[in-house]
Every structure is written in C-alpha cells, then in structure tokens.
Amino acid sequence: MSERNPGKSLHDKVSGEHRRLEEMFEDLRAALRPQENDAGALPAASEVLEEMREELEAHFDVEERLYYPSLWALRPERKAPLHALLQRHPRFLTQLEKIARSLQVEALSEAETLFDSFASDFALHEDAEETLLKNLEQTLPPT
C-alpha cells in the first residue's frame, strides 16, 4: 500500500496514498455514470467499488496501526486531533456499504448521490489530515 521510501515524509506518503485513492474515486464516478443501454454498468461499478473499499481499508489500517501511533508517541499532546480523524474511518466504510447496497438493488442514481456525498466528506477528511500532518512535521525535531 504505502511506498517504502525512507526519504519521503509521512505527509508526502499519506498525500500520495490520498491521490491514488482519488484516482479510484474518479474510476467509480465514471462507472456510476454509464452510457445509455450499458448492461455492464452495475457489475463494473460494483467491481470498482469493491477495489476501492479494499484500498481504503488498507489505507486506514496503515494509518491506525503504524502512522498515528508513531505520531502519538512523538507528540502526545496532538493525540486528540489525530484520534478525531481516525474516528471518521468507520463512517467512511459505512458510507461505502450503503453505496454497495444501492448497487445491489440496481439503484444507480441513488448510488451516485451517496458516492458524491462520500467523496465530498472524504475530501474534507483528507485536507484536514494532510494539514495536521504537515503542521506536525514542521514542529518535529530533525532525525
């Protein structure tokens, strides 16, 4: 999931993962807006959604088990804002489950609306996370 490049900052690593997720979001957005008479639209959207869910779960896992505990150890006074960001992860996965259920009942328009809300919420989360990480890195002692 994450690149193993010790020269990259945590902010850069997380930002890179976010950009890759955003590419998957665009793939799903395109799959949710099929051409007329596209019989394969629902299976394609479901497949892209499943791939995106797997990537998102892996991303969250790395943040929850590796990145943030390390930051808490270095900057315990910043645990609360980091924890607040992590508490949003289950909500994002729940939103994806709702999108998947909409696709299962062939409610493509509903799935698209739910996805737009998810993507907007996640973009705000990414911005907050990247800003916090950048600010933290600027105040950490050099290694």
- The CA-atom distances, in angstroms, between 92 and each of 26, 39, 56 are 17, 28, 9
Say if CB 125 and CB 81 are below 8 A apart: no
Q: Quick one: which of 46, 17, 10, 2 has its CA closest to 122?
A: 17
- If one counts every other C-beta atom within 10 angstroms of the C-beta of residue 39, the result is 7
Provide the pLDDT for residue 4.
44
Q: Quick one: which of 29, 91, 24, 87 has its CA closest to 54?
A: 24
- The CA-atom distances, in angstroms, between 55 and each of 25, 52, 61, 136, 137 are 11, 5, 10, 25, 25
Which H, E and C letters describe 55-87, residue by residue? HHHHHHHHHHHHHHHHHHHHCHHHHHHHHHHHC
pLDDT in tens, the chain (143 residues): 444 445 688 888 889 999 999 999 998 888 888 655 455 667 888 999 999 999 999 999 999 999 889 888 888 888 899 899 999 999 999 999 999 999 988 888 899 999 999 999 999 999 999 998 888 877 766 55
Say if CB 132 and CB 15 are below 8 A apart: no
Domain ranges of the chain: 10-139
